[in-house]
Structure 1
Amino acid sequence: MAIYRIAIGSPGEAGQPDAIRAAFAEFFSMIIFVFAGEGSGMAYNKLTNGGGATPAGLIAASLSHAFGLFVAVSVGANISGGHVNPAVTFGAFVGGNITLLRSILYWIAQLLGSVVACILLKSATGGMETTGFSLSSGVSVWNALTFEIVMTFGLVYTVYATAMDPKKGNVGIIAPIAIGFIVGANILVGGAFDGASMNPAVSFGPALVSWQWTHHWVYWVGPFIGAAIAAIIYDNIFIGDDGHEPLSSNDF
């Protein structure tokens, strides 16, 4: 890992117009994503009168999250990079693609976007509870942590390969759909075990609005570990010093 590429950022960065615009882009992208993903779960509960999870519900969750993330990444890509995930932002920071101060700005915007989306859903549905992430019966916190690490590794690895690699070329065009597809696929794998978050903000909004914090730490620690591993591996093996596009010296 090239430590010298990690940047803290300049003190006035948070007040720069482009940084503020980027934070707003993350905020609105997160509202779009969480409203679609969380809303699909609430709609399923209404249609089944609160029935238990079924294969059909898992497929619906996979599709809604895949489609929602595809759009959310697309609309924010040209402004903020379309992270729509604190773990993706952390992975970008570890690889030297964003400063720490801008990362913090993104994290605040992402968390607020998730909370606002859940409040809007609760209001629009007449008070229905937002569904917080939880472990299924028989699944330990270590099982869930492993799932979150591996699934988020796949997500951030895909982000690096299709969106952050300077050599991506025309592959960058399909980055939003590739990112949406890997999230949808991972939900089909991990959704029955721990809900398949891969995104601390997506877990935070429902947890705050419904005040359900059981095992919530898993949905932060797992994604951040998976993101860091993906960033370190991809950046060092496939990008390297010669292919890296460094941040401006003013950011260090």
Structure 2
Amino acid sequence: MPINRITIGRYEEEVTHPGALKAALAEFIATLIFVFAGEGSGMAFSKLTAGAANTPAGLISAAIAHAFALFVAVSVAANISGGHVNPAVTFGAFVGGNISLLRGILYWIAQLLGSIVACLLLRFSTGGLTTSAFALSAGEGVWNAFVFEIVMTFGLVYTVYATAIDPKRGNLGTIAPIAIGFIVGANILAGGAFDGASMNPAVSFGPAVVSWTWTHHWVYWAGPLIGGGLAGVVYELFFISHTHEALPVADY
């Protein structure tokens, strides 16, 4: 059971150790890269279309920008921190017993700071343009958006487990950043018109802090954390066994 492997961790090893601090710095930089490109693409499209970012073309551009940016962000951090770039991914790894609580908290702090700094840089470099906080579209209920975030984040973290965390992933590990970027892009196309398709509390937190807009902000925390946690438990419980002999890669 995954619950048996959940650990708090030792402060000296998980917080103050140079390796842990390097991993946190990698998460900070990777999240900054991701949010700067993703949020910046929306701001750029809005400027070019005189504020008409909520269009089919705007949705497609947001999906492509986030998919490409996440592919890069995961790739540059994968060998140092695992390339979480998302508190929901970190939480999913924690409930599956793949990261300690203290290391997870360190990652969360780095990810949230990376998002805030990215939004501050965007605001400064664009001459004060607003970094729009995530919001529900007209007619979208808060509980509908809540379910959307759970399902989309479940798919994201499940993909992370299958391609990056599973010890039997084999050659799939080399395409993990691409698969992770693709699922985020696809989910934005599916849910972007309804609630913005965050799937990532850090992505929602930075714009909310800089614009100081907190309407329904809890949805973008509770939904992704529940979805990520469920994905971690389900994949660990049903698809990862630490006792049976691994099958050859060709059998996957």
* Aligned-partner SS, 2:103: helix
Q: Deviations over 1:17-74 (max 9, x none)?
A: 1100000000000010000000000001100111251000000000000000000000
Residues of 2 paired with 1:29 and 1:155: CA distance? 17
**1:8 paired residue number:** 8
**1:22 paired residue number:** 23
**1:97 paired residue number:** 98
Unaligned ranges ≥5, structure 2: 246-252
Q: Does the Cα contact within 8 Å between 2:53 and 2:59 map onto a contact in 1?
A: no
* Aligned-partner SS, 1:15: coil
Give the AA of the match of 2:8: I
Q: Deviations over 1:128-147 (max 9, x none)?
A: 00011000011011000000
Residues of 2 paired with 1:4 and 1:187: CA distance? 35
Give the AA of the match of 1:116: V
Which 4+ stretches in 1 moved above 3 angstroms? none
> How do 1:205-220 and structure 2 match up within 5 A?
205-220=206-221
**1:66 paired residue number:** 67
Count of residues paired in the alignment: 244
Q: Deviations over 1:106-147 (max 9, x none)?
A: 000000000000000000000000011000011011000000
Residues of 1 paired with 2:164 and 2:243: CA distance? 18
| Distance change >3 Å, CA 96–CA 243, structure 1 → 2 | farther
* Aligned-partner SS, 1:242: coil
Unaligned ranges ≥5, structure 1: 245-252
2:226 matches 1:225: yes
**1:249 paired residue number:** none
Q: What is the percentage of aligned positions where both structures have the same residue? A: 72
Residues of 2 paired with 1:147 and 1:31: CA distance? 25
**2:109 paired residue number:** 108
The structural deviation recorded for 1:2 is 3.0
**1:88 paired residue number:** 89
2:207 matches 1:200: no
Residues of 1 paired with 2:240 and 2:4: CA distance? 15
* Aligned-partner SS, 1:102: helix
Q: Does the Cα contact within 8 Å between 1:92 and 1:98 map onto a contact in 2?
A: yes
Q: Deviations over 1:162-217 (max 9, x none)?
A: 00000001000000000000000000000000000000000000000000100000
Q: Does the Cα contact within 8 Å between 2:34 and 2:66 map onto a contact in 1?
A: yes
Residues of 1 paired with 2:103 and 2:53: CA distance? 41
Give the AA of the match of 2:36: F
> How do 1:1-252 and structure 2 match up within 5 A?
1-12=1-12, 13-51=14-52, 53-242=54-243
| Distance change >3 Å, CA 37–CA 243, structure 1 → 2 | farther
Give the AA of the match of 1:93: F
Q: Does the Cα contact within 8 Å between 1:166 and 1:243 map onto a contact in 2?
A: no
What TM-score does the superposition give when structure 1 sets the normalisation length? 0.95
**1:248 paired residue number:** none
Q: Does the Cα contact within 8 Å between 2:33 and 2:69 map onto a contact in 1?
A: yes
Q: Does the Cα contact within 8 Å between 2:67 and 2:182 map onto a contact in 1?
A: yes
The structural deviation recorded for 1:4 is 1.7
Give the AA of the match of 2:134: F
The structural deviation recorded for 1:11 is 2.1
